[in-house]
Amino acid sequence: MDEQNSFFTEYKSVFKNYLHNRFTLIKLQAVDTVSRLVGALVVGVLLAVIGFVALLFISFMLGYYFSSLTGSNFAGFSIIAAFYVILFLIIIIFRKSLVEKLIMNAVIKVLFDKNKDHHDHDFKADNH
């Protein structure tokens, strides 16, 4: 009976250590995933802001360009406004097939990065 108790006592400690290490690994994997997602989000927001500013200046340039062609500021900037209204309607119509898929694919790519899987495979190979 003593032998059985020492067996369970010994493996209870090993099991507790395993659970602690496993929980730590899960936390580290969660932190890695969240940090990569936040990093991608920050880069995406920065690119969106820079893209918006560039688009704003290009729109003004085109508005003045079309104004010089038409001889009217109203007509020149109306052409640009009409372009954006048409673009807006196209995005609304195709939002599920275009925009949502692009966003979903970007998030999936960040969450399931192939390099991360490659490192996990190397780690598993080293342990066997």
For residue 78, what are its two tokens?
A: 């109306």
Owning domain of residue 38: 2-93
pLDDT tens per residue, range 84-101: 999 999 989 888 887 788
User: Which among 30, 33, 47 is positioned nearest to 109, based on CA atoms?
Assistant: 33
Whole-model pTM: value is: 0.62
Domain assignment of residue 73, yes or no: yes
Burial class (CB in 10 A: 0-12, 13-18, 19+), 53: exposed
Q: How many domains does the chain have?
A: 1
Residue 114 lies in a domain: no
Q: pLDDT, tens digit, for every residue of 26-59?
A: 999 889 888 888 988 899 999 999 999 999 999 9
Q: Is residue 36 part of a domain?
A: yes
Q: Is residue 111 part of a domain?
A: no
DSSP assignment, residue 35? H
